[in-house]
Amino acid sequence: MFSSGMTKNEIADVLSDIGTLLELKGENPFKVRAYQAGARTLEAIEEAELARLIEKGELQTMKGIGEALGLKIAELHRTGRLEFFEKLKASVEPGLVEMLQIPGLGPKKIRALRDKLWIVDIAGLTQACLDGRVAELDGFGAKTQEKILAGIRNREAYGRRHLWWDAAEVAAGIVAGLRRLQQVQRVEAAGSLRRGMETVGDLDFIVAASEVGPVVEWFVSMPGVNEVTARGETKASVRFDSGLQADLRLVPSDQFVFALHHFTGSKDHNVQMRQRALARGLSLSEWGLFPADEKHGPSEGQRGSGERMTEDGGQRAEDTGLRADDGGLRTEGGGQSAGGGQRPVLVQTEAELFAKLGLHYIPPELREGLGEIEAAEKGELPRLVEHADLRGAFHNHTTASDGRNTLAEMAAAADALGWEYLGIADHSKTSVVANGLNEERLLRQVAEIRALNASKRFKAHLFAGVECDILPDGTLDFDEPLLRQLDYIVASVHSLFSQDEATMTKRIIRAIEHPCTVMLGHVTGRLLLRREAYRVDVAKVIDAALANGVIIEINAHPNRLDLDWRHWRKAAERGLLCSINPDAHDTSGLGHVRAGINVARKGWLRREQILNTWPLAQVGEWMQARA
């Protein structure tokens, strides 16, 4: 609507930047959270919906926005500029923001470095460390100085995020190892990993143990540990060779559930839960659930400048009363248990914790502060799809194109998974790099699939399909008579990603409108941590898919996870059908559906909204009806 303005994602980035800058300036934490919450709210709004809300003057009525923030968003959307943001940026040295990338340096310490040593960038910080001046500051010391220097040296490698899939593999081994220790009573992974976010900054493990020493010793001695960054009675932190950080938090058994909930996050979810508790005369924290007028946990003075959580839902040591001394961590208050002799309400599970606040259990994937608490209060949370609900998968490749396993091997792998069916969709002829199939080779593969089905060699029924390139003008790679001989097609963009948004959107919609298109593959073309999405109006694409009865896939490949979970809730409510497709290029790749389940659950999807949870007969009937 306003061609010179910003998109909603660009606006969300600005709001997040404002929150960071305010935090560096030491502003009120509630003001900081307001901008961060506003950014997250925007991420969940479709582009067209944002334009409508602004045009109607209704944006400020949305939860998490408000009048003042609504005016700023409207100005950015209309003009692409915000005087408040420009002045704020000018008031904060840009080097201070860069310093946030150094492990162990939060806004509080950065402010101290600026105010006491006039350090305003990493170059100045490096020199001050080399001169020994940082070690002389109160609250720093020689060990902190050494860690800062190490962080500067490694910040490029350590600053990277990690795919959920990779982080989950590491976390599974750690959890299994911890559970084998006789001292461990309970253990779970927390943070963004548990919430099923597409990428993970670090790993959090919550452990209740009868004896902490052996647990910490095992944790810091794990294979692949490159650096032990903290080691104490309540916490230990390590970095692996990959740069992935893992934090171990040890708590008493009666605090385990509260700590697990707290460090799972997200921050917005936790803030709303604390507000709900306060409205009921209670105080909720990682230490427990108490009457609001009773003192518990570290005192306000020991917490520093308010509670501040990491992006993964955890909480930084400098803001919880934890401090480093001689390489160890301990509580300033002298222990983990609640102050004043008060004990938390005893609960054994998170379901019991939610029930204490009048809520149905909220799965971790939904804890993003996006309406899950209100739905849990009303008993309106969906029964989310589960991995066990899947009966098969589409969009899989074989050695006929760029896969690494034969058709028979892929079918056998589907049998081993107990699936009822498997869809084969090798690349089409224009994908030369992927050894795409021409007309003759594709028809030969279709005949092979039909023969395998007739032979009853495999229990899983094979559907004959193709991943058909969407050409630059929106036409498909094969003519309609050939496509009519297939059970289904997945239409995907694999070229000319640089097209402008209007052209790319028109291109994809034209492909959706083709009568043979059954599914749309990896809608935005993104490769997580490697390539940004191409410019496309996702809202218009969803509208076109709904109008034409076309499925949009969740491409479950860990590098893609596309269409993003933030689009799915509203789209599915409107009737958009999904298929969780692993985009498998070998037999092990069929397991990628686990990552796709995360996306579906975060998108509030139920099994009936996902094609490949349907039984074989129903899928066959649906495809026949579309033919």
Residue 426: inside a domain: yes
Say if residue 212 is in the same domain as residue 309: yes
CATH number at residue 110: 1.10.150.20
User: Across residues 414-420, what is the average pLDDT?
Assistant: 97
CATH number at residue 17: 1.10.150.110
pLDDT at 292 over 90: no
Say if residue 98 is in the same domain as residue 204: no
Say if residue 349 is in the same domain as residue 496: no
Spatial contact of 265 and 259, defined as CB atoms under 8 Å apart: no
Distance of CA 354 to the CA centre of its chain: 23
Bridge partners (DSSP) of residue 186 are: 208
- pLDDT value of position 342: 57
CA-closest candidate to residue 9, choices 61, 53, 44: 44
pLDDT at 326 over 70: no
Say if residue 479 is in the same domain as residue 553: yes
What separation in angstroms does the CA of 171 have from each of 175, 178, 203, 248? 6, 10, 7, 11
pLDDT at 193 over 90: yes
pLDDT tier, 89 (very low <50, low <70, confident <90, very high otherwise): confident
Residue 118 belongs to domain spanning: 94-158
CATH number at residue 402: 3.20.20.140
Say if residue 146 is in the same domain as residue 176: no
Say if residue 451 is in the same domain as residue 546: yes
Residue 253: inside a domain: yes
Last residue of a domain, one of 91, 106, 121: 91
pLDDT at 232 over 60: yes
User: Across residues 430-445, what is the average pLDDT?
Assistant: 94
Residue 2: inside a domain: no
Last residue of a domain, one of 38, 71, 91: 91
- pLDDT value of position 293: 73
Rounded to whole angstroms, how far apart are CA atoms 404 and 396? 11
Say if residue 402 is in the same domain as residue 515: yes
Structure tokens at 108: 């509080």
pLDDT tier, 297 (very low <50, low <70, confident <90, very high otherwise): low
- pLDDT value of position 13: 84
| Residue owning tokens 């959307």 | 77
Say if residue 76 is in the same domain as residue 108: no
| Residue owning tokens 């390139």 | 469
User: Across residues 55-79, what is the average pLDDT?
Assistant: 87
Last residue of a domain, one of 344, 378, 412: 378
pLDDT at 328 over 70: no
Q: Which residue has the higher pLDDT, 450 or 58?
A: 450
Say if residue 534 is in the same domain as residue 405: yes
Residue 594: inside a domain: yes
Say if residue 416 is in the same domain as residue 519: yes
Bridge partners (DSSP) of residue 284 are: 289
Q: Of 103-117, 245-259, 386-400, which range is least confident?
A: 103-117
CA-closest candidate to residue 577, choices 536, 615, 545, 529: 545
User: Across residues 145-161, what is the average pLDDT?
Assistant: 75
Residue 1: inside a domain: no
- pLDDT value of position 49: 79
- pLDDT value of position 36: 83
pLDDT at 530 over 50: yes
pLDDT digit string, tens, across residues 545-593: 999 999 999 999 999 999 999 999 999 999 999 999 999 998 999 999 9
Residues 6+ apart with CB under 8 A from 114: 93, 96, 120
% of the chain at pLDDT higher than 70: 89
Number of domains in the chain: 4
User: Across residues 440-462, what is the average pLDDT?
Assistant: 97
pLDDT digit string, tens, across residues 154-182: 666 545 789 999 999 999 999 999 999 99
**Mean pLDDT of the chain, nearest integer:** 88
Say if residue 560 is in the same domain as residue 468: yes
Say if residue 607 is in the same domain as residue 496: yes
| Residue owning tokens 């994602």 | 9
